[in-house]
Amino acid sequence: MKAVLLIAGLVALASAGSVPPSPQYETKDVSEEFAYKQKKVLSLLQHVNQVDPQLEYYKVGKDFDIYANMDQFTNKKAVEEFMYYYRHGYLPKGQIFSVFYERMREEAIALYHLLHYAKDFETFYKTAAWARVHLNEGLFTYSFCIAVLHREDTQGIILPAPYEIYPYFFVNSEVIEKMYRLKMQNGLVDPSVGYYYGITHEGNEFTIYANYSGRYSWTLGTEQRLSYYTEDIGLNTYYYYFHAQFPFWMQGEEYGNFKERRGEYYFYFHQQLLARYYMERLTNGLGEIPRFSWRTPIKTGYYPNMFYRTGTPFPQRNNYYYVQNPENALDIQYVESYEAQFLEYLHEGQYEAFEHKYDLRKPKSINFVGNYWQTNPDSRDKSYKNFNKYYEVIARVLLGGSPYPVNDYYAYPSVLEQFQTSLRDPVFFQLYKRIIYYFIQYKQYLEPYTKEQLYFNGVKVTDVQVEKLETYYEYFDFDATNGLYYSKEESNNFPYYFKVRQPRLNHKPFNVQIEVKSDVSTDAVFKIFMVPKYDGAGNVITLEHNWMNFYELDWFTHKLTPGKNTIERNSREFFYFKEDSIPARDIFKMCEEKKVPKDMSEDYNVMPNRLMLPKGTYGGFPFQFFVFVYPYTPLEKEYANYQDFLLDNKPFGFPFDRPIDARYFYQPNMYFKDVQVYQVGEYFSYTFNTPQYFYHHNEVPKH
């Protein structure tokens, strides 16, 4: 009988319900030159933890002389600055890198500038190959990825997903240990034993079932219920790319005309991140995002259950962590004075310093406010380059619970001090709720939009229909082979590949149908928002107190004709979302046919489609959709290069970019629709992902 059950369990584990669906990729044709560049970039990011003398990049980079090729760089000062750092000692190989530490950050910026100012792609590649051979692995990866995103001749190049480059930042230590064990044993695994450990294999490819930390650290508090969301590899990739595209240390001139909206986007990005997180909290019964004080213990603990590739575990923070100790006294004084200074600026109604002057009663000052809270170079005078205190950096170090570094190169960063892992810690959202609070204080001084500013003459939304919204957990595989080391003999013929299989939130595709009656022929902009209807206590949230919780799902233009117009949008088309990243191995194969996946090459700054909807509940959790239609105004010429990012000249999040007057939000061109989000299948992700679950239940959860 036991043997029968074991066979049944193995069949269940390997059945269609436990294997991810085959992904469908939309590709586009590229030139031979582009495919060449794409393959070069991918080659530099494979097995970044070790250097292989047999590979091409090593032969190119080993003997490349940067100083002797100074004429191949458009900025000689950048070359000299880099060489100054390098000759005085760079972060050693094998050490943990974090951009949150001053010396490491300076070196990473110097390398970025060196790469950025390479005259052409060949020089860029040779310089990157040199850095790949000679410099710290984490520092190289950080600067190289940002350079690829910001160089003109690498626009559209696809970077491997960060969870493929550094799996350590995305899975717990249990998974890494299983991978090491399998490789050390040359793949030797008894299928029946492997089943109990969540390991399956086919040929030379092993699949390891991975859990979230909520399963192990539930004693730290109910916040861990959200680990399936906060630890999602796609969500953390999304946040990592936000930083890679808009680093806090980067000069605004490098963004071109977008410099004038840099701070505004910083606010919008984090406001949307919090709005989406808040909805997830509500469906899990957690209510409001907690507040904290620098002067009292931090109630929320976090145990990452991960370690760095050096073997050093990520620091943990117990419940009621006490920030206010003698070592932190000066840093606490700094963040408190920084916050108080901003409120003083608001009280005075203006900011005037470093030859800058901003009227804090004007909407366009949002760019300064965003720059202030990111503490980026645009918030201060350029000549003040020795200023190295960043509010975000200091706040994260205080809250993360990491010990004080031994010296410039021996640090012990918490998850809050790595952009790939920041969202895993519930305190991250508490910190940014605090920051958004100061933005809201600024926005309280702005005049709400008037009825006339929101009205669309001759246009009326008569009906909105939304198909049933259903979410479920679905297995997703990703390549974690780069987390291991290989021998000289394995260089050209790696014997094993390792995939991690994890249950991730997803939703069934749905349609939104909008009926519009128009008296005119005109171009219109459509926006679809999702918003909570009730707060954590079950009270209806008034519009005046809910404007910052509107989560933007879609943004598109449409030509209206006189009479009845029926507009149907499928969730796969929504503007702010994209499909999951594609394995680097598959991208490399596509390059051989001069093709690349379209979705990945154009949309780094959008959310994974699968995380569009909050989990919901079995009986359905109430939300609202809000449809807003307004006249289309073409994008100004100076922002023409951002058409994949901007559709018009309105502020990000319009019309919820400032406090509202609820009387003006029941106009003909607006429509509120009550919806319910239903969860189907397993309720907890870690139950769904326990192999023994299948053994005992002999069935696959139905979606």
The pLDDT, as a whole number, for residue 683 is 82
- Residue 537's pLDDT is what? 93
Least confident interval from 112-121, 126-135, 219-228, 578-587: 219-228
Torsion angle, alpha carbons of 372, 374, 377, 381, to 10? 20
**What is d(CA 574, CA 528) in angstroms, rounded to the nearest whole number?**
9
Of residues 2 and 148, more confidence is placed in 148
Q: Given pLDDT bands bounded at 50, 70 and 90, which one contains residue 6?
A: very low
Q: Report pLDDT digits (tens) over 255-298.
A: 888 899 999 999 999 999 999 999 999 999 999 999 999 999 99
Structural domain boundaries in the chain: 32-157, 215-443, 451-468+508-574+612-686
In what order do the strands lie in the sheet containing 511-518?
A: 459-466, 511-518, 563-570
The CATH number, out of the four listed (3.10.105.10, 1.20.1370.10, 1.25.40.20, 1.10.730.10), of the domain defined by the range 32-157? 1.20.1370.10
Domains 32-157 and 215-443 share a fold: no
CB 389 within 8 A of CB 375: yes
pLDDT at 167 over 70: yes
What pLDDT was estimated at residue 387?
59
- Calculate the average pLDDT of the chain: 89
CATH of the structural domain 215-443, one choice from 1.20.1250.20, 2.40.100.10, 3.40.50.800, 1.10.1280.10: 1.10.1280.10
The SS3 call for residue 236 is helix
Please count the residues of the chain.
Answer: 703
How many CA atoms lie within 13 Å of 293's alpha carbon, on the beta-carbon side? 3
Q: What is the DSSP letter of 317?
A: B
Interatomic CA distance for residues 10 and 190, integer angstroms: 13
Helices (H) and strands (E) in the chain, counts: 22, 17
Q: How distant, in Å, are the alpha carbons of 463, 468, 509, 563, 566 from that of 674?
A: 12, 11, 18, 26, 20
Pull the structure tokens for residue 47. Answer: 């097995």
* Full 3-state SS string of 629-682: EEECCCCCHHHHHHCCCCCCCCCCCCCCCCCCCHHHCCCCCEEEEEEEEEECCC
Asked if CATH classification 2.130.10.10 holds for the domain at 451-468+508-574+612-686, the reply, yes or no, is no
- Cα 192 from chain centroid? 38
pLDDT of residue 85: 94
pLDDT digits (tens, 9 = 90+) for 567-578: 999 999 999 999
Bridge partners of 527, per DSSP, are 555, 628
- Segment 350-358 shows an average pLDDT of 84
How far apart CA 264 and CA 312 sit, in angstroms, is 38
Q: What is the pLDDT of residues 609-658, one digit of tens each?
A: 999 999 999 999 999 999 999 999 988 877 777 777 889 999 999 999 99
**What does the pLDDT average to over 542-569?**
97
Maximum mean pLDDT: which of 170-179, 304-313, 401-410, 460-469 = 460-469
Q: What percent of the chain has pLDDT over 90?
A: 71
List phi, psi (to 5°) of 527: -130, 140
CA distances from 471 to 179, 274, 614, 619, 689 (A): 31, 20, 8, 12, 17
Structure tokens at 180: 């090491």
